[in-house]
Amino acid sequence: MRKIVFDIETSNTFSDVGSGNPADLDISVVCLHDSATDEYHSFLQEDFSKLWKFIEGADMLIGYNSDHFDIPLLDKYYPGDLTTIKSLDLLKEIHASLGRRIKLDAVAQATLGEKKSGHGLQAITWWHAGEKQKVIDYCIQDVKVTKNVYEYAMKHGKVKYKDLSKIKDIQLDTSKWGDKEASTLTHTLPF
């Protein structure tokens, strides 16, 4: 099963566009890990024609807040419908189990002892300062953290978070995460 773990950084904020709709934002970079090759890749907007072959070849897209944020935003650029590809939104799974949303950084620190290398608003500042490589590096690091959280959850059936001073478990039903689904995706681009 080919899994694409991905993350998106934007070049603007919700307050910049006067909307809370992710599709109203603009993408600065998309980064991903391809399980078929165990490689990381980054794509600026001008490279999206190369990105689509990875996305369309995926059996599952994995992200953090991806069903609510990343997929609707990326779908704005895609000539088809990305919601037809199986997706696993780790934040959605955590929310379903715990009843609340937990930041990726908090889950990564408690589960893996890893921290994110920055935050999204910082990445926007770097982008506007012309520091594109910093944004790419930050986004790749987010993909690595998301991938590691996913792999931990698959192995242990849970992730962790810090509640005040205590580390607590979030039990996750990962039993169907690895199931391959028949995709209704029609490839829209010639590969």
What is the value of pTM for the model shown?
0.91
Backbone φ, ψ for residue 131 (5° rounding): -95, 65
How many alpha carbons fall within 13 Å on the CB side of residue 189?
A: 17
Sign of the alpha-carbon dihedral angle for 70, 72, 77, 79 = positive
28 inside domain: yes
CA distance 35 to 178: 13
pLDDT > 80? residue 118: no
Count: domains in the chain? 1
pLDDT > 80? residue 169: yes
Average pLDDT rounded to a whole number, residues 3-20: 95
CA distance 65 to 164: 23
7 inside domain: yes
Domain range for residue 45?
3-171
Q: Provide the pLDDT for residue 186.
A: 46
How many alpha carbons fall within 13 Å on the CB side of residue 129?
A: 10
8 inside domain: yes
> Considering only CA atoms, which of 180, 161, 163, 179 is closest in space to residue 171?
161
pLDDT > 60? residue 154: yes
177 inside domain: no
pLDDT tens-place string over residues 121-146: 889 999 999 999 999 999 999 999 99
38 inside domain: yes
Q: What is the CATH number of the domain that holds 130?
A: 3.30.420.10
Q: Provide the pLDDT for residue 93.
A: 97
Least confident of 19-23, 117-121, 164-168, 180-184: 180-184
151 inside domain: yes
What are the DSSP E strand ranges found in 45-156? 60-63, 87-89
